Amino acid sequence: MEKTNNLSRIEREKHVVRLMIDLYCRKKEGHATRCPACQTLLSYAYVRLERCPFGEAKTSCQRCPIHCYKADMRERMRQVMRFSGPRMLLYHPWIALRHLFGK
Ligand SMILES: [Zn+2]
């Protein structure tokens, strides 16, 4: 079981987004290691999280009223979430449940 209990909300979100992007890159795109495009998306996601105006009080990004992602990044992240979302239950069930139901 991965230890995320003592991390901040933002750190946990970063952890989840990295797992989801890596899952997408490996399983969907077939890369052995994170490809440059996915690295760009991950760096972008990190910056968005760090600059999130809600900080530690943030809700899940799907429910956020701001939608701070640029259109192209949002589209790519949407594809990652659509692919990796259901698979997180398979590969990282504890993290996925925390993410879905965690406060
Ligand atoms: Zn990739």
Distance 28 CA to ligand 1 centre (A): 8
Domain that holds residue 73: 9-100
Cβ contact 32:26 at 8 Å:
yes
> Would you give the DSSP letter of residue 61?
G
Do the domain assignments include residue 36?
yes
The whole-number pLDDT of residue 21 equals 97
The CA 2 to ligand 1 mean position distance, Å, reads: 24
Tens digit of each residue's pLDDT, the chain (103 residues):
455 556 788 888 899 999 999 999 999 999 999 999 999 999 999 999 998 888 888 777 667 777 788 999 999 999 999 999 889 888 888 777 776 665 4
Residue 45 covered by a domain: yes
Neighbours of 14 (CB within 10 A): 17
3 inside domain: no
Query: Is residue 4 assigned to a domain?
Result: no
Has residue 2 been placed in a domain?
Answer: no
Q: How far, in Å, is the centroid of ligand 1 from the Cα of 77?
A: 11
pLDDT of residue 73: 94
The reply to whether 76 falls in a domain is yes
pTM value is: 0.81
Q: Model confidence over 16-45: pLDDT tens digits?
A: 999 999 999 999 999 999 999 999 999 999
Domain count, the chain: 1
Amino acid 100: pLDDT: 64
DSSP state of 62: G
Please tell me the distance from the alpha carbon of residue 63 to that of residue 50, in angstroms, as a whole number.
18
> Dihedral sign, CA of 9, 15, 21, 24?
negative
The amino acid at residue 77 is M
